[in-house]
Every structure is written in C-alpha cells, then in structure tokens.
Chain A
Amino acid sequence: MNITWRLAWRNLWRHRRRTWLTVGAMVFCNVLLIFLISVQLGSYQMMIDNSLGAFSGHLQLQHEGFDEDQRIRQSVPAVAERARQVQDLLGEEAVAARGIAYALASSEERSFGIQITGVQPQREPRVSTLPGLLREGRYLSGADAEIVVGALLARNLRVAPGDEITILGSGRDGSFAAAIATVVGIVDSGIPELDRALAQVSLSWFQAVFSMGDHGHSVVVRLPHLEQVPLAVTTLQGLRAEHPELVVLDWDQLQPGLRQAIRSDMVSAWVMYAVLILLVAFSVLNTQLMSVLERTREFGVMLALGVSPGRLARLVGLETALLAAMGLGLGVVAGGLLALYLQQVGFTFPGMAEMSARFNLPERMYPPVTLPSLLWGPLTVFLGALLAALYPALRLFGLRPVAAMRAS
C-alpha cells in the first residue's frame, strides 16, 4: 500500500472515538435514507402500477376531446377492429376496446346515476385487474344482459348476483336507451371510488343498448413496463394518418394527478433528505476541521520538507474519502439488510391502512430493494462529506511552514 494511503488511514484512527462517531452519523443517515427512499420509490411504483392497472391502462386511443368532455358521440368507429390493429402494431396482447355511457341504474328499491362500461369479456382481464377481484359470482361471459358491479354500488343499489338492474339513458343518436341486465358478479377492489362507480357489461350488448353500432370510446393498452410508453405512443401516432379524429393519450394525460402527486411528494421528501444530509455534512466538516487544526504542526513539517499544499489537501481529501467510504460501505450493508428484511416481512404503521387506500396502495408495504433505492442516499451523503472537507482542505493553502511548526 502506498504511503499516502497508509498515512491517511492511520490518521483516521488517531481519534478512534471521533472517527467512529462520524462514521456512525453517516451510517445512521444512510440506513434512514435507504429505508425512506426504498419505501418512497416502492410506493410510487405501486401507486402507478395499481392506479394504471386497475382501470386506465398505460395508454388509450380515444376520440379527440372525449377525455375532457366524455360525450357519447365522441366515439371511436369500428372499435374492436381498432383494438386488433393496435395489438398488431404494438405486438402486445394486453389491448382491449371499451365503450362508456352514463345512465340511471335502478334496482327494485334504489336508483343511482352511474357510468356503464362496455368491455370485451375475453380481453378486459388482460388490461385491468378488476375482473380478477370478484367477490361474488362470476365475470361477464360475453352474453347479453349481464352486468358486473362494484361492491359499494351493489350495496347502494341493494342488489346481489341474480338480481336485475334497469338501465335508463340515452344512446349515441340521442335516442332513448333502456335495458334490463342481471347482476352476475360483484367486484371488490378495496378502492372506494372504483367500487362505488364500477358497472361493466359486454361491449356488444353495450353497443346494442346505446345505439353505438360498431363504435366504442377507447382502446386501452397495458404495457409490461412504464418505460415502453413513449415508444408505443409514437408507434400509435401512425394510426392518425387514417383516422385524424383519434388521439393517443398516455398515462400522464389519463391520470394527471398521479405524476404530480409523486412530484410533490418527491419535493417534500427531498427537502427532508437534504436536511439530514446537510447535518451529516456538518458532522464531517467538524471532524475534519478538528483533525486539520490539531495537526497544524505536522503539516508545517511536511510543508518544510517540500510537500506542496496541494498534496496535503489531497491527503485530507483522501482521509475524508476513506471516512465517507466507511460510512457508505457500512451504511449500504446495514441499510441493505434492513431493506431486504422489510422486503420479506413488510411493514406498516398506525394509520397506514387508511392513508394507503387513498393512493391505491396495500395496507402493508413490501418495499422492493433496488439499486437506486440502495445507492441514491448513501452516494449523496458521500458527496456531501467530500464537499464538507473542502473548507478544512483549502485552509492548508494558507499555512506558512515556520508559523505552523511553531503552533502548539
């Protein structure tokens, strides 16, 4: 080992307690950051996956303006054929066509205004998790006059599988739309907003009841990874040459709150992290400044021997880097173990169940251990520590050998 490295390493241990306390501060902060960031990134991923997976998908093909106005006339012609076309273009299986209409749903005892979705019973389970969350009965078979409703809507309407619901609304041409459907299944997603509003029928029957012909309102695509969205959007733009009235909306446009919720949460989280990192940097600054000040004499000798101040500054930098590397290494190991443990066992805190339902999150979190969640925090702490050593290191350039050697 090189003498400079040896010198740096031994200097660190001249005050063992001080070094350990400083390393301890870094390790503590690193473990905390790894925990917080893995929970944070994990919950973002889940928020996105759960929110998009439940209903909206990663992207949709719609008639221009439908997303804002939701008018029945803003429809996609030959929607089933479009869905097949999208499937071919993207080479993805998870593509489904939907129709959407608003109607008054009445059971024997109750009436509610609801949104009715016409879905392709074979394809819908590929794009949405809802068909898999049946509490009672079965999913749509494709036959006419079958309806699946959300658990809260079923309660509000006081219906159970086998009961009938009368649907009153208006068709695409403005005509009166009326039909009777039998409840075949009840979906309980645990997300109140969905469970209160969900009502699905088969697309073909939907088209018949609401005089849609072969029209629908959207083609929903679910992609394996979020990163594939931009490319898929570009691919689908090609459809607009033939059908200029259609638009492709990505998840951010479909659920504009989601990305902003994540961004605002990130802002406040990073303010908090910055405070912690700054405090650790102060700790390092203090240690390194002390270490430089108490060695003034020694540095004076080295200067007298002809060692340049730059070299001394590099020595202090190396010492800090070693110190910070210990904090980094131990912190990543300890934080990684904690994160791995939580990934297996999960964790919760009082009130988390209520909070997480709001964001489509489960009651118990199993934060995934990823490279970014493991390294982001500790690396920032490492850099912060190096920056903190700048002041003590720069002080060395002001040292005069004779005066420094006289220092007590």
Chain B
Amino acid sequence: MHWPLNSLLTLAWRNLWRNYRRTLIMLLAIALGVWAMIVMSALMRGMTDQMVRNGLATLPGEAQIHHPDFLRDPSVVNHMPMPAGSLLQQLEQAPITAWAARLRVPGVLASEYASRGVTLLGVDPAQEAALGSLPDTLLEGRMLEGPDDRGILLGASLAARLETSLGKRIVLMTQDTENDVADRGVRVVGIYRARLQGDEERFAWVGRGALQELLGLDQAVTEVAVTGSDYAAVGAWLPALQASAGPELEVLGWTELHTFLGTMLAVQEGFVLVFMVVVFLVLSFGLINTLVMAVFERTRELGLMQALGMRPALILSQVLLESLLLLALGLLLGNGLALATLLPLRDGVDISAVAEGMEIMEMGATLYPLLAVDDMLMSTAVVLILGLLASLLPAWRASRLDPVRALARH
C-alpha cells in the first residue's frame, strides 16, 4: 500500500488548526504539563543533589575506610594504620581525587564554666582541604596549620555554650586506647561557622599528630575518607579500593554509610517518574477529549474518505499523526518554557525563608535547580509514548466508521 506521508502530514496539520482555539488550549495544557515535569524534576534533583553534596562534605567523602568494628563501636580502640603500600597507591590514583586520614573520637571539652560532649576530629588540614570537608567560614583566628598544630578550632555556637572565646584555653578530655581518660589543655585558635548549626556544636577540630600523641597512638587513625569526582560513580572505583584495602579493613560507599542519603536519591529518582506519569494522566483526559471531538466533528468527512477508498489504517494513522503533531508542538513549547524558567535560576533560588526547616534535610539557604538531560528525555518519552497510546482509542474509532452511516450524518 502506498503511504502518502506528505499529504497525510499536510492534512493532519491543517486539521489541527481547523479548530484553532481548541488546539491552542490543548497545546498550552501540554506545554504547561511538560514545563511542570521538567522544572519540578530540576528543582527536586537540585534539592537532592545539594543534600547529597552537603551530606558528603560532612560525612566526609564518597567512601570511607575503617577498622571493621569502628562503625558499631566508634572508639579509638578500633583504630587502623595509616594507608600504606598498595592501598596508598590506589588512593593516589585517578579517579580518586582526594583522601584524608583522620581520627574521629568522642571527647569532652570543658571551660572553667561549662563542659560539652563533642566529636573530636584529628586531621591533616591539607588533606581535608583537598577533600572539601573543612568548615565553610572562619569567623575569627586561623585554621589549623598542619597535622601537628596543638590548637583547637571550635564552632561559634559551641564556643558560646562553653563561654569561651578565641585565645582562651580549654580542657580536652577523651579516652585513650587503654580506656583511660586522657586530658590536655588546648588553646582556641579559631572559631568557625558551619552551614548547619548542628555540625557547629558537634565537631571540634584539632591536629591529627597532636591528638595521636595525646591518645598514645603512633601513626594510627580511625578513618580514611576518600572522594572521586562524581558521587554517582562511586561504584566504579570502590571494588578496587576494597581489594587493595584487604580483609583487615572495611571499605564502604556513602550509600551504606549514610543510608538516608542513598534512599533519598533512589526515592527521588522514582518520584520524578511518578510525577511525570501523574501529570501526563491528568493531561491525557484533555488529549483524548480533543481527539474524540475532532473525530466526531469530522464524521462525515472521514466517512467520505473511506467511501473514496481510503483504508482504515490510513485514517488511523492520520488521526495519530494529528495527535503526534500536537504532542510534539506541546513538547517543544514546554521544553522551551522550562529552559526559559531554569536558565535564569542557574545561580540559585533563595529559600532562606524556610532555611531552618531545610536543615533537617541537610540543605542550605539556596536551591540550585539541576537540569538533567535525562529528565528532559524522560518527559519527552512519557508524553510521546503515553500520548500516542491515549490517542489510539479515538483513532481506532475513526477508522472503524461505517461510511454509509457517517455520510448520512448531517
């Protein structure tokens, strides 16, 4: 059979504009739906992306190496040696971009007025800087200068609660490897501000070497944080790292270390698709309606076409083509609108009005929409596939008209 695609296309196009108001309204509806699909998923993706990034900056790293018992029993007793040999070699290799060996132990800080339980982080500032885990803003004083810095860096709200300030001495108490309390006076060398107030109250930063000395550890640490360039691609290098770390050490990716973030990401992926399908379903009622009416109004004409010898399959494809044109125009318009909305928002949307609530979600005060090509493709696929499916019914009905009765209609 000959398929006169050109004339079919012309016919479908002209038919589309016979009732231009109806077509325009439907076009607007499709465009609005597509716009919502893309913009909402960009906002959701941006939110999740930022939550993951912020979460990973505090975790820190995209993967961590520990003594196998450390996560269950976060005590200095469960320490591990500094990376060496093949592990060190692996850590220095691409795609791993940075790593930091650190001590993370519970401790108590006491000023002459008050005391607070904290998490002590013994770090090498250079390694931490590469990892991106250092506090965001230094309010006063200085950062730690090296692994052997004997000062302490406190969060601003912790300093307030301890009633201490820059330059003052406080007592640091923690438990050494023998389960005895080790304590030492340290000077506050810097006050920092963290993005999240909770972090500010929880973490106190000291030199790794200085802490090792206090705890009676030689070159041991409690964790090695590792990061690559893309948090979604951890799976690519994690097995090699696990292999070179050997059975003595536990190497876990962030999705296992921070299950909330991992779940969050998976749920969001699912939600984007569900949202798109739901939006389309609401849209589909209007789409079917438009096509049903278009076929209804042309009953006589379609009967005539059949009477003139046009095959039902050709009529079916003509209606489908009309629907396809409508959907494609709607997609084009919707994508255009979405881009026009999102591009000016590239530099972030101010959500500080609700920032404290966002803290629970590990968010900052600015939301950066993340436009993913995948989302645009997914929305296009959802609209085209489901759209054509929805059009099948009216198209089929059009192709099944009885020419004699259709022509008799006034």
Which residues from chain A sit less than 8 Å from chain B, CB to CB?
A: 15, 17-18, 21-22, 24-25, 28-29, 32, 68-73, 102-104, 106, 108-115, 155-156, 158, 168-170, 174, 256-265, 267-268, 271-272, 275-276, 278-280, 282-283, 285-287, 289-290, 293, 349-352, 354-355, 357-359
Distance of A377 Cα from B309 Cα, bound (Å): 50
B260 touches A355 (CB 8 A): yes
The 10 closest A-B pairs by CB, nearest first: A113-B117, A260-B357, A261-B357, A25-B285, A264-B354, A113-B108, A282-B29, A354-B263, A283-B286, A111-B175
Which residues from chain B sit less than 8 Å from chain A, CB to CB?
A: 19, 21-22, 25-26, 28-29, 32-33, 36, 40, 43, 72-75, 77, 106-110, 112-118, 160-161, 163, 173-175, 179, 181, 259-260, 263-264, 266-267, 270, 275, 278-279, 281-283, 285-286, 288-290, 292-293, 296, 351, 353-361
B351 touches A264 (CB 8 A): yes
Distance of A358 Cα from B110 Cα, bound (Å): 31
A24 and B285 contact, Cβ closer than 8 Å, known pairs A156-B73, A275-B279: yes
B115 touches A113 (CB 8 A): yes
Distance of A69 Cα from B111 Cα, bound (Å): 14
A18 touches B282 (CB 8 A): no
B366 CB to nearest chain A CB (Å): 13
Distance of A276 Cα from B282 Cα, bound (Å): 7
Distance of A276 Cα from B260 Cα, bound (Å): 29
Distance of A350 Cα from B38 Cα, bound (Å): 23
Task: Report chain A residues within 8 Å CB of B160.
Answer: 68-69
A272 touches B116 (CB 8 A): no
The residue on B at minimum CB distance from A18 is B289
B108 touches A355 (CB 8 A): no
B292 touches A17 (CB 8 A): yes
A354 touches B260 (CB 8 A): yes
Distance of A186 Cα from B243 Cα, bound (Å): 39
A69 and B161 contact, Cβ closer than 8 Å, known pairs A22-B289, A263-B357, A355-B267: yes
A286 touches B106 (CB 8 A): no
Task: Report chain A residues within 8 Å CB of B359.
Answer: 257
Give 16 A-B pairs besides A102-B108, A359-B360 with Cβ atoms closer than 8 angstroms. Answer: A28-B282, A69-B161, A102-B117, A155-B73, A158-B73, A260-B357, A263-B357, A264-B358, A265-B357, A275-B33, A280-B282, A289-B21, A354-B259, A354-B264, A355-B260, A358-B260
A64 CB to nearest chain B CB (Å): 15
Task: Report chain A residues within 8 Å CB of B275.
Answer: 272
Distance of A263 Cα from B174 Cα, bound (Å): 41
B117 touches A350 (CB 8 A): no
Task: Report chain B residues within 8 Å CB of A17.
Answer: 292
A115 touches B117 (CB 8 A): yes
Residue pairs across A and B with Cβ atoms less than 8 A apart, 16 shown, are A21-B285, A28-B282, A69-B163, A71-B161, A103-B108, A111-B108, A113-B173, A168-B108, A260-B357, A261-B356, A261-B358, A286-B290, A293-B19, A355-B263, A358-B360, A359-B360
B394 CB to nearest chain A CB (Å): 9
Count of A-B contacts judged by CB separation below 8 Å: 194
Task: Report chain A residues within 8 Å CB of B108.
Answer: 102-104, 111, 113, 168
B365 CB to nearest chain A CB (Å): 11
Distance of A256 Cα from B198 Cα, bound (Å): 13
A355 and B354 contact, Cβ closer than 8 Å, known pairs A261-B361, A275-B279: no
The residue on B at minimum CB distance from A352 is B267
A355 touches B360 (CB 8 A): no
Task: Report chain A residues within 8 Å CB of B174.
Answer: 111
Distance of A102 Cα from B290 Cα, bound (Å): 69
Distance of A28 Cα from B275 Cα, bound (Å): 14
A264 touches B357 (CB 8 A): yes
The residue on B at minimum CB distance from A266 is B354
Choice from A104, A106, A108, A289 contacting B25 with Cβ under 8 Å: A289
A154 CB to nearest chain B CB (Å): 12
B267 touches A282 (CB 8 A): no
The residue on A at minimum CB distance from B183 is A104
Distance of A84 Cα from B263 Cα, bound (Å): 46
Task: Report chain B residues within 8 Å CB of A257.
Answer: 356-357, 359-360
B117 touches A70 (CB 8 A): no
B289 touches A283 (CB 8 A): yes
Distance of A106 Cα from B180 Cα, bound (Å): 10
A276 and B259 contact, Cβ closer than 8 Å, known pairs A71-B161, A111-B106, A264-B358: no
A25 CB to nearest chain B CB (Å): 3
A285 touches B25 (CB 8 A): yes
B289 touches A289 (CB 8 A): no
